[in-house]
Structure 1
């Protein structure tokens, strides 16, 4: 019997990737507490530490986690080497832009990213879907619709890139290596959740609904009928 795949822990992820880093940067980066450099290192250690913990727990590193890990390292480098804050805005936009380009690439060559994310064999009986599509002669129609959905997925990452850049330019204006920079960085991290993360999640939910409708229209199966029993 195959061991059950460890489940994600959204609430814990929010605490370690958003709440704790923001709280430390905004409240404990002043000289009377940790100081600028130590405060930044401690704050960034939480998302880095959680990424390592999650990898050890699940024994796999997905693309989003890898980019998040890389993004955190870049943020620390910009701050510790006291680079221009313009680089922070560029960095914030570059990560989702790279993911968008990767999404488009998978749609052109190989299996679209959205199919890998939403038609996951751990969650759904994907074989039944393709058998019914072949039986109904709808395989090409399905591929075209999934390709369209994959382009919409790329657009969600482009939205994230634009909003990340705008948020960084708006909120982080102080020179790197200062208490004000750490505080603004913490504020930006906190604000990114309601302004960027939640809208992006709603877009993904809409895409999930679209894909489920496509599957039902072309195969007659509801997603609830295709779910793998845990």
Structure 2
């Protein structure tokens, strides 16, 4: 008997990685409440705490919480050392840019990240897919399509980088280490979800649809026939 893997909790992730840190920064970082430094530390505690909780629950690192914590940590460093707010915009754009570079290089080295993410043995009958591609002579054409999809995946991160930079330059204008800076930072974190995260999710959903269509077209199988779950029913 196999133990079912604990499922992610998107709504809870949004609360701990976006909503609560934003609320603390906007409402409780003034001198009469927590203060600038304490406000940043408390805001950091939410994504860090959730990352630890989720790891203990699933025995796997939650990348959303990890990136949330690292992003808040770097932002906290900018505030504590009172660096130019221009560094905040650079920081906001740097993480998705680095991911985009990694995605492109994964394709160059013949191991596209999108294939690793989507052609997962826990989801698809991968051996059956590759066997059919080989016998039908479609392996190289399939690899070319996956490479194209991988480049589109990189573009989604470039979109995120550009939008993060624009949002930071537009919303955060006060000097680092001030109450106004924390408030603007919280507002930026809150708005980043509908402006950046949701469109990025829609793009990823489109990529998933594209890849599944490529698989079914090249193999001739129905989508449901390729799912591992179909054998368990």
TM-score range, shorter chain: over 0.9
Q: Deviations over 1:8-31 (max 9, x none)?
A: 111111000111111111111112
1:168 aligns with 2:168: yes
After superposition, the Cα gap between the structure-2 partners of 1:68 and 1:101, relative to the gap in structure 1 and judged at 3 Å, is: farther
For structure 1, the residue ranges without an aligned partner over 5 or more in a row are: none
TM-fit CA distance, 1:63: 5.8
1:198 aligned partner: 198
Q: Deviations over 1:130-176 (max 9, x none)?
A: 11111211111110000000000000000000000000000001111
After superposition, the Cα gap between the structure-2 partners of 1:71 and 1:117, relative to the gap in structure 1 and judged at 3 Å, is: same
Aligned ranges 1:1-230 → 2 under 5 Å: 1-61=1-61, 66-229=66-229
> What number of residue pairs does the alignment pair up?
230
Alpha-carbon separation, structure 2, partners of 1:74 and 1:140: 43
TM-fit CA distance, 1:123: 1.8
TM-score, normalised with respect to structure 1: 0.94
TM-fit CA distance, 1:200: 0.4
After superposition, the Cα gap between the structure-2 partners of 1:123 and 1:88, relative to the gap in structure 1 and judged at 3 Å, is: same
Alpha-carbon separation, structure 2, partners of 1:3 and 1:16: 27
Secondary structure of residue in 2 paired with 1:97? helix
TM-score, normalised with respect to structure 2: 0.93
| 2:47–2:66 CA contact under 8 A, matched in 1 | no
For structure 2, the residue ranges without an aligned partner over 5 or more in a row are: none
Which deviates the most, 124-133 or 142-151? 124-133
